[in-house]
Structure 1
Amino acid sequence: MSLHVTEFLLNPTQHELGPVIILFGDDRYMKQEAIKAIEPIVLGDEEDTSLTRFEGKRLQNELPPSALFDELKTVSMWGDKRLVIIDEAEKYVSAFRSKLEKYLESPSKSSILVLDVKSWSKSTRLAKLVAKIGLDLECKELKGGPLAKWISDTAGKIHQKQISRDAALLLIEMVGTHCGQIHQELEKLATFVGDQPRIGPDDIRAVVGGWKAETTWAMTGALRDGNISDALRYLDHLLIAGEAPQKILGGLTFVWRKYFKAAQLAVQGTPLKQALKEAGVFPRDIDSSDRYLRRLSRQRAEKISQWLLNTDLNLKGNSRLAPRLELEQLLFLLSGKL
């Protein structure tokens, strides 16, 4: 059976493990979470005595070829099952593929083998054997909708909290797509909201970004709504507090890159509100963003990307203007006032 590891982790005990489990992909955090879930299922209370862990390179180069298979055939003295894990097994699998295939034709009934690899071609004979009798778990970063769903599922199952889609998307924007980091922030958020059943965008701004993130969001909102004086005031607060000009530009770029994409889609015939949605603008900001782009005009919206790029280059040394002046000039351009 093939699953993404996040599906497995939501309810590990409902899945039949079989004699072999493949963890493939480059998300180290998810692989470790999978192993932590597998160990108690297989070993119960005998985790230390019935677990063997090999490093792939050492197993391949320093130990005899029979070392792994002897370990798999060894009967545990203390429990019913043995768990044998090979970390970073990519080269080992390539070197001993035929031996692994032969073993899986008649695997030990008392041992489970876990192979940690980066890539896994499902067209090979070995992969087809695993698909018949075992489990292969994809351990790659999620993105977009699947990642937002994982956040919602994790918040509900582990922390007994609901999280709105807007909040999940904001969390991704502020933290990134690494599930380990997101999980840490969910723990903080669950503690922060206390008895409240729901985590919202304001909670994420307060906990994940702190006041500087809140101020950056307030600046972008003021700019979008045509309040250039408020936007300049928020910019002043950020600079006085020591926020790096490049980081402030990063916050602006994150929002206005979506507006630029929406403008391009609209030129191609997509209705503006639909274009904003497809560009990734938060649902609650669609109406205000629609009004903003109409006020800005199509001609100016098509220049957004160039304005952002020019400011980035100028902050990196292409201009003698002070960073504050560069950012203030960008705010005026984006507001339509310049």
Structure 2
Amino acid sequence: MALFQPRSDKVAVSEVFDELRTLPFMAKRRVVLIKDADKFITDNRGPLEKYFDKPSPSGTLILTVNSWAKNTKLAKKLTAMGSGAQLFEISEIKANRLPAFVIDYARSKHGKNISSNTAYLLVEFAGLDSGRLASEIDKLAVFVGEEKTITVEHIEALIGHNRMFNAFGVIDAMTAGNTAAAVGRLRNMFETDKNADYTTVGAFAYHFRRMFNAKAMLEKGAAQGQVAGKLR
């Protein structure tokens, strides 16, 4: 496959058509991928309509857009192409479905198992972006090697250790009533970790949830040693 991936705001429609109509060299097809193509389509609707009438037999045009009006002439031409064209509609994954996405992706892409609690922890650390979650799972799959299961320990070791340590520092300062130190440490987290805006809240949530679980266990009469063992 020969891939051409220009910027949507920099490429001319004639250049796109030239790429699509050029026979691929040492490849079965020539593919043109244009991301964020909404304005590109608006600016070149007429030429695209003509191309849809007679597309290149050896070229594949992929356009990603934020919206696709199905009542336009271009959309109707796409439908009329039948099996020669496909429209994929991808909706954003809701937050409560992200742990299930993590589990399914780890299993289908890498053959790795991951529990619901572990998947929830990964979402807390990595944030609500499915692409970022997939990237973190890819790294975890390499990290665990031949092991079949991704565990909480793996996530803490690869993703969460430093953030958890820094979060503890902020929480300790808050508990001690040292507002200046808490704010200073939090500011340092954002300055030294480019991903802190995605992960800081997750790290805090992880710690506070463990604290609340410990409190609930103690109120139910659990021994301190039992609580400590449960939270390790």
TM-score by length of 2: 0.62
Greater RCO (Cα-Cα under 8 Å, separation 6 or more): 1
Partner of 2:10: 58
> C-alpha offsets along residues 58-89 of structure 1, whole Å, 9 cap, x if unaligned?
334xxxx6443344333335444222233443
**Which structure 1 segments of 5+ residues have no match?**
1-42, 220-230, 258-280, 296-338
Following superposition, the deviation at residue 113 of structure 1 comes to 0.9
Structure-2 separation of matches of 1:250 and 1:66 = 47
Partner of 2:72: 124
Partner of 1:244: 186
Partner of 1:32: none
Query: CA contact under 8 A between 1:215 and 1:234: conserved in structure 2?
Result: no
**Which structure 2 segments of 5+ residues have no match?**
190-199, 221-232
Structure-2 separation of matches of 1:54 and 1:205 = 38
* RMSD (CA atoms): 4.4
Compared CA separation, residues 92 and 179, structure 1 to 2 (3 A) = same
The one-letter amino acid paired with 1:175 is: A
> C-alpha offsets along residues 170-204 of structure 1, whole Å, 9 cap, x if unaligned?
11111112334323432443344444322233432
TM-score by length of 1: 0.45
Following superposition, the deviation at residue 256 of structure 1 comes to 10
Bigger radius of gyration among the two: 1
Instruction: Determine helix, strand or coil for the equivalent of 1:148.
Output: helix
Q: How many positions carry a matched residue from both structures?
A: 200
Partner of 2:194: none
Instruction: Determine helix, strand or coil for the equivalent of 1:142.
Output: coil
Partner of 1:108: 56
Partner of 2:230: none
Query: CA contact under 8 A between 1:82 and 1:110: conserved in structure 2?
Result: yes
Query: CA contact under 8 A between 2:106 and 2:114: conserved in structure 1?
Result: yes
The one-letter amino acid paired with 2:11 is: L
Query: CA contact under 8 A between 1:141 and 1:177: conserved in structure 2?
Result: no
Partner of 1:183: 134
Instruction: Determine helix, strand or coil for the equivalent of 2:60.
Output: strand
Query: CA contact under 8 A between 2:127 and 2:202: conserved in structure 1?
Result: no
Compared CA separation, residues 253 and 66, structure 1 to 2 (3 A) = closer
Identity of counterpart residues, as a percentage?
29
1:1-338 alignment to 2 at 5 Å?
Answer: 43=1, 47=2, 51-60=3-12, 66-76=14-24, 78-131=26-79, 132=82, 133-138=84-89, 141-210=92-161, 213=164, 243-244=185-186, 250=201, 254=205, 288=213, 291=216
Structure-2 separation of matches of 1:80 and 1:211 = 47
Compared CA separation, residues 212 and 125, structure 1 to 2 (3 A) = same
Query: CA contact under 8 A between 1:90 and 1:119: conserved in structure 2?
Result: yes
Query: CA contact under 8 A between 2:166 and 2:185: conserved in structure 1?
Result: no
Structure-2 separation of matches of 1:206 and 1:234 = 25
